[in-house]
């Protein structure tokens, strides 16, 4: 099987970290280039993104041919466009496992990429088993992520303080 280059799309989360290790291993085993990209969503401050991307590409690219790119726009379409333009053979990305309202509000990047990608897509769940043992159950506590509003550690998309503040603002009279 000729895999072709591997594209790893990261949002710098814990879920992405696990996916990056898997993307690196796939590129290493198949002796192909790894593309490490980050897409800055609209109305998001990309201030520290270039430095984070540079460090990550250096870490994952040790001993591999690596390319990195910092893109801006709607995340899933940017990933798909990059994959098409560079003839990527596999896209690897982490999933946060959001459901319900958070998924409805934010959408699912992984779902969008899977539906429209020009090549196979490997999604790595946020609670992926680190031991690699088939069928082993994850016995660890849920991984902490960063609150999208204040960047404090949280198990959810929003920390409890931000969730409370947003709910209270929604109930305040407009005027």
Per-domain residue ranges of the chain: 6-128, 144-175
CATH code for the domain defined by 6-128? 3.40.50.620
Nearest alpha carbon to residue 92 among 29, 151, 160? 29
Indicate the SS3 state at residue 108.
coil
70: which residues sit within 8 A by CB, 6+ positions away?
A: 37, 38, 40, 46, 49, 50, 53
Average pLDDT, 10 consecutive residues per value, the chain (175 residues): 86 86 93 95 85 93 94 94 96 74 55 90 71 40 63 72 68 59
Where are the strands (E) in 18-98, listed by range?
34-40, 66-72, 90-95
pLDDT of residue 104: 43
Q: Are 24 and 34 in contact (CB under 8 A)?
A: yes
pLDDT of residue 57: 94
pLDDT of residue 172: 61
pLDDT of residue 1: 55
**What are the counts of helices (DSSP H) followed by strands (DSSP E) for the chain?**
6, 7
pLDDT of residue 140: 42
């Amino acid at each position: 099987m000729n895999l072709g280059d591997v594209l790893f799309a990261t949002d710098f989360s814990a879920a992405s970290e696990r996916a990056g290790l898997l993307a690196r291993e796939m590129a290493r085993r198949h002796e192909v280039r790894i593309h490490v990209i980050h897409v800055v969503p609209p109305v998001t401050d990309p201030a520290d993104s270039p430095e984070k991307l540079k460090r990550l590409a250096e870490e994952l690219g040790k001993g591999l041919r690596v390319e990195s790119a910092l893109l801006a726009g709607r995340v899933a379409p940017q990933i798909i466009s990059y994959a098409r333009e560079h003839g990527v053979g596999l896209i690897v990305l982490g999933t946060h496992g959001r459901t319900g309202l958070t998924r409805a509000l934010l959408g699912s990047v992984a779902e969008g990429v899977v539906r429209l990608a020009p090549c196979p897509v490997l999604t790595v769940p946020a609670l992926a088993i680190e031991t690699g043992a088939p069928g082993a159950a994850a016995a660890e506590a849920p991984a902490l992520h960063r609150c999208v509003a204040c960047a404090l550690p949280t198990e959810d998309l929003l920390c409890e303080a931000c969730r409370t503040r947003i709910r209270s603002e929604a109930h305040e009279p407009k005027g």
